[in-house]
Amino acid sequence: MKGRTIAEFLKEYEGKDTVSFHMPGHKGRSELFAAAGYDGLVRNAAAWDITEVPGADSLFCPRSVLRNVMDNYAELYGARHTELLVNGSSAGLIAAIISCVPVGGRLILGRNSHHSVFSALRMGGINPVYLRPETDPQFNLAAEISPYELEAACDAHPDASAVLITSPNYCGVMSDISVLADIAHEHGMLLIVDQAHGAHLRYFDLYAGRAREEGAYVPHPRHAAETLGADIVVNSTHKTLLSFTGSGILNICGDGVDIDAVSETLRMIQTTSPSYLLMASLDINEKIMRAGWPEIMGAWKEDLAGFYRAASRINGLTVVTGGGARGSGSADEEVFALWRYREGPDPTKINISMSALGLSGERLDKELRYRGIISEMVHGEYVLLMTGAGNRRSDYEKLLAALRDIADSYGIGTPVERVPHSFEDMFLETADIPMESELVPLYEADGRVLYDPIITYPPGSPVACPGEIMNMDVISHISGILSAGDAITGVDDEGRIKVGTGY
């Protein structure tokens, strides 16, 4: 037998005393399910791993227990209809695109879209119109999609059937979905929102609404795309909430969406043997959140606010918040209340840097891991810590202790040179996505039309997208990524990429 196996790795990982600031949102805390009376999901996983036995319903034709879960989610999120996803948000995004854009049609989408979106373009023979996210020049963070750019794209391409926006993006920055929805609808297009990283937004909106009803001043606009005019919203409930990895929901909100078409497309791309463990976790997540969202959201908010206030006093630590970056000695007593569009990321995504002390993002991540803190990803000079419903106050306290220890260890260092977060703002000319491809060395690809996306991990955003015309600037950028040993897809082991033939 060759090497360590998956089961052996998981057994070893289970015994490690680490604090999780990465997905999934339940953070491995089985007591969350036990407290709600569903400890059997974890304790008796094998017994719950069934197939479509009598009474268990069918995901392809839900009429009883599964239909009840779907209807419960639709009610909670304010949707016309909800589909359960057992192949992750990827399946939901592919189904949304293919069911809303005809073969040979056109989709307007952000360049920071998920890999599955580019797969949908290929599967549906769909031609893209790319929108470039803005870049925050102060913090080198990928920002929102500008309404002005969407307006221009819609005017230039009136034949497009739909618009797809990723919000929140990988850094947690949200676009103004309400304005973008109005623009799309004015041009006769549907708006699809990849809200994979924002399934929790609906519950924070409910929490803010209750606070306002009780007379509190809460300058917190609605953020859940379901209530802001989006037609289809795809949520990875496992990322920040409590369902198991690989599960999610697709919410249909707009009257212009053909529910049957979406359902039929999902039947083509989801497994005919759906995991009842995943679907049960979706059910339990909905039950726990429906009954306990005031307590869960209240504790989450208070823990985050406490973290940001304490972190602002750590020497050499930069923390990006809704009001900007906070450095040493800068208190922010109302950091959570300052959460607004265009002023920073969703505060549940903690973006931190210690470049002022001479630490690169990679070095800071290693120092945190050495102290038992596991982050979500490194992007540029920042480390992203993804909080979730399963985090507890002790997690934030351990994180703060680790950051104080790192700051004390490094003292006043030499600031590191700031590095760009991504290549999303590079302008590349576009053509239709090629139907046939060939492999060519990267250094020979100047002027060729890209066939497959080239994506760095992390953060998972594309450096170059299908249909874009390669140039020497992007080729040099990709070469630098390869030289640094970073993970990248779309370039094979021999340094070749797929480009269209005949271009």
Per the model's pLDDT, the better-predicted residue between 83 and 51 turns out to be 83
pLDDT band at 148 (very low <50, low <70, confident <90, very high): very high
pLDDT over threshold 80, residue 339:
no
| pLDDT tens, position by position, 52-79 | 888 999 999 999 999 999 999 999 999 9
pLDDT of residue 210: 81
pLDDT for position 324 = 52
Predicted confidence at residue 413, as pLDDT, reads 59
pLDDT at 474: 92
Mean pLDDT lowest for which of 200-209, 249-258, 321-330, 379-388?
321-330
Confidence category of residue 152, pLDDT binned at 50, 70, 90: very high
Nearest to 33 by CA among 393, 349, 395, 389: 389
* Overall average pLDDT of the 338-343 stretch: 43
Mean pLDDT computed over 131-157: 88
Which H or E element spans position 309?
Answer: helix 276-311
- Average predicted confidence (pLDDT) for the chain: 88
pLDDT at 219 over 50: yes
Tell me the fold of 437-500. Molybdopterin biosynthesis moea protein, domain 2 (3.90.105)
Q: Mean pLDDT across the stretch 87-110? A: 97
Residue 12 has pLDDT above 90, yes or no: no
> In this model, does residue 337 exceed pLDDT 70?
no
Query: DSSP class of residue 450?
Result: B
How far, in whole angstroms, is CA 457 from its chain's centroid? 13
DSSP state of 459: T
Q: Which strands sit side by side in the sheet containing 106-110, from one edge to the other?
A: 81-85, 248-252, 232-235, 190-194, 162-166, 106-110, 127-131
- Is the bond preceding residue 459 a cis peptide, omega within 30 degrees? yes
> Can you tell me the mean pLDDT for 7-12?
84
Which segment of 59-68, 82-91, 149-158, 486-495 scores lowest on mean pLDDT?
486-495
Say yes or no to pLDDT of 327 above 80.
no
pLDDT class of 397 with cuts at 50, 70, 90:
very high
Do residues 262 and 99 touch, judged by C-beta distance below 8 A?
yes
Burial 42-75 (b: 16+ CB within 10 A, else e): beeeeebeeebeeeebebeebeeebeebbebbbe
pLDDT at residue 386 greater than cutoff 90: yes
The backbone torsions φ and ψ at residue 364, rounded to the nearest 5 degrees and listed phi first, read -65, -40
**What are the E-state strand segments in 207-361?**
232-235, 248-252, 318-321, 324-326, 349-353
Q: Name the residue among 495, 410, 370, 466 with its Cα closest to residue 116.
A: 466
Largest Cα span, the chain: 66
pLDDT of residue 334: 47
Confidence of residue 332 (pLDDT cuts 50, 70, 90): very low
Domain boundaries in the chain? 40-289, 294-410, 437-500
State pLDDT tens for residues 22-45: 999 999 888 888 888 888 888 888
Tokens of 337: 């209340």
Instruction: Sort strands 462-464 and 382-386 into parallel, antiparallel or unpaired.
Output: unpaired
Please tell me the distance from the alpha carbon of residue 107 to that of residue 93, in angstroms, as a whole number: 13
Q: Which pair of tokens denotes residue 281? A: 């976790």
Q: Which of 136-140, 346-350, 398-402, 461-465 has the lowest mean pLDDT?
A: 136-140
Please tell me the predicted confidence (pLDDT) of residue 233. 98
The shares of helix, strand and coil residues in the chain, as percent rounded to the nearest 5, are 40, 20, 45
Model confidence band, residue 220 (pLDDT cutoffs 50, 70, 90): low
At residue 119, what is the residue type? S
DSSP-H helix ranges across 101-200: 115-124, 147-156, 177-186
Q: What is the pLDDT of residue 261?
A: 97
Q: What is the pLDDT of residue 255?
A: 97
In terms of average pLDDT, the best of 100-104, 378-382, 484-488 is: 100-104
Query: CA–CA separation, 85 vs 466, rounded Å?
Result: 26
Residue 307 CA to chain centroid, in angstroms? 22
For domain 294-410, the question of CATH label 3.40.1010.10 is answered with no
Torsion of CA 10, 23, 373, 30, to 10 degrees: -60
CATH code for the domain defined by 40-289:
3.40.640.10
Q: Which amino acid is at 100?
A: C
The answer to whether 197 and 170 are in contact (CB under 8 A) is yes
> In terms of pLDDT, which residue wins out, 278 or 338?
278
Strand partners, 321: 324
C-beta separation of 97 from 76 below 8 A: no
pLDDT of residue 164: 98
- Whole-model pTM: value is 0.92
